[in-house]
């Protein structure tokens, strides 16, 4: 076989999108937790693309081990291996914050690139390290905020305000607004490390800019939900007409939906980089687009 896609449900969808053959991965977990993933069938390939999504009930470390075992297996079968992890685990551990800690994001990248020729992920958290600082092999960070913005096509540009909850989110706001005309606002968040209390620093005229408007809060990751919930509660004070959320990676999946309900959101838009039953943006299309545009396949 020349080219093949190996993976799970996302792999199958990608193979259909690109019209390429597909080999599925069969999961097996032993009683002690050890993993033995298996390719449904073997072969010799010129190019193999491995894409697997972390499942909702799956431990992130089990996902990682499974992925690494498969990559190593595929290295024996394929001349070139393209590793696609829609969500790159450990990306937020991109610095040594306290003496003695591992620089986890770099070490995970080193494990991946041992057996992959190209690495692709979506909106990798790039706060302190860029994706190119972690990997020595060619890497592609697929930005999907424009795809999230598509879901707000029915919003009026005059009434929409896109808000980033912290300075790092400026990039996300800009990306989101590339084809979506709206007022852009980035706020600054301060947390008192002793009391845990959060306060916000706003640009001028917030009340004037937000009253009666349709606010969309954008961020790359929702984990505990605290960041965007605290932002939304603070924004609510300025009496916007509606509040919506647009987030790429929903780490705790469905659990966060109940938390966000407190602010009665008009719309919540997530992708399926990690499995969750509420996603509205399928990551397969932007990944396929990227593979073709960058002439990777
Ligand atoms: C922070 O730098 C990220 O961009 C997210 O704001 C953060 O990871 C969200 O985490 P949580 O939902 O736990 O507040």
pLDDT in tens, 219-250: 999 988 888 999 999 999 999 999 999 999 99
- Residue 215 has a pLDDT of 98
What's the fold here for domain 3-143+282-293?
Rossmann fold (3.40.50)
81 CA → ligand 1 middle, Å: 31
Distances, alpha carbon 229 to alpha carbons 81, 124, 222, 285, in Å: 40, 22, 10, 29
- Residue 110 has a pLDDT of 98
| 220 touches ligand 1 (CB under 6 Å) | yes
3-state SS, residue 41: coil
- Residue 197 has a pLDDT of 77
| 291 touches ligand 1 (CB under 6 Å) | no
Helices (H), 244-283: 255-260
Residue nearest to atom 10 of ligand 1 (CA): 223
At residue 101's C-alpha, the angle toward residues 97 and 107, to 5°, is: 105
Q: What is the DSSP letter of 23?
A: E
- Residue 254 has a pLDDT of 80
Distance CA 84, CA 82 (A): 6
- Residue 199 has a pLDDT of 85
Distance CA 162, CA 148 (A): 12
220 CA → ligand 1 middle, Å: 8
- Residue 253 has a pLDDT of 78
- Residue 56 has a pLDDT of 93
- Residue 7 has a pLDDT of 98
210: enclosing H helix or E strand: helix 206-210
| pLDDT beneath 50, residues of the chain | none
What is the location of CATH 3.40.50.2020 in the chain?
3-143+282-293, 145-269
| 128 touches ligand 1 (CB under 6 Å) | no
- Residue 135 has a pLDDT of 98
Architecture of the domain whose range is 145-269: 3-Layer(aba) Sandwich (3.40)
3-state SS, residue 197: coil
């Amino acid at each position: 076989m020349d080219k093949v896609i190996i993976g799970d449900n996302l792999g199958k969808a990608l193979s259909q999108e690109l019209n390429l053959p597909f080999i599925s991965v069969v999961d097996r977990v032993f009683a002690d937790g050890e993993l033995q993933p298996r390719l449904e069938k073997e072969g010799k390939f010129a190019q193999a693309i491995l894409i697997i999504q972390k499942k909702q009930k799956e431990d992130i470390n089990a996902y990682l081990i499974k992925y690494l075992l498969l990559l190593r297996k595929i290295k024996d079968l394929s001349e070139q291996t393209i590793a696609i992890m829609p969500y790159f685990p450990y990306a937020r551990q991109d610095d040594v914050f306290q003496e003695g800690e591992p620089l986890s994001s770099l070490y995970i990248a080193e494990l991946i690139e041992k057996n992959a020729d190209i690495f692709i992920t979506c909106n990798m958290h790039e706060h302190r390290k860029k994706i190119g600082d972690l990997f020595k092999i060619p890497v592609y960070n697929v930005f999907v905020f424009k795809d999230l913005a598509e879901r707000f096509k029915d919003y009026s540009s005059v009434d929409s305000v896109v808000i980033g909850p912290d300075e790092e989110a400026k990039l996300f706001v800009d990306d989101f607004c590339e084809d979506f005309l709206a007022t852009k606002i980035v706020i600054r968040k301060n947390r008192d490390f002793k009391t845990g209390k959060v306060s916000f620093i706003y640009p001028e005229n917030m009340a004037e800019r937000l009253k009666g408007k349709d606010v969309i809060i954008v961020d790359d990751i929702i984990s505990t939900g605290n960041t965007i919930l605290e932002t939304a509660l603070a924004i609510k004070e300025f009496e916007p007409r509606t509040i919506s959320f647009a987030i790429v990676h929903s780490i705790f999946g469905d659990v966060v939906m109940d938390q966000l309900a407190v602010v009665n959101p008009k719309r919540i838009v997530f992708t399926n980089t990690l499995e969750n039953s509420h996603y509205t943006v399928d990551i397969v299309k932007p990944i396929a687009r990227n593979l073709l545009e960058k002439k990777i396949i």
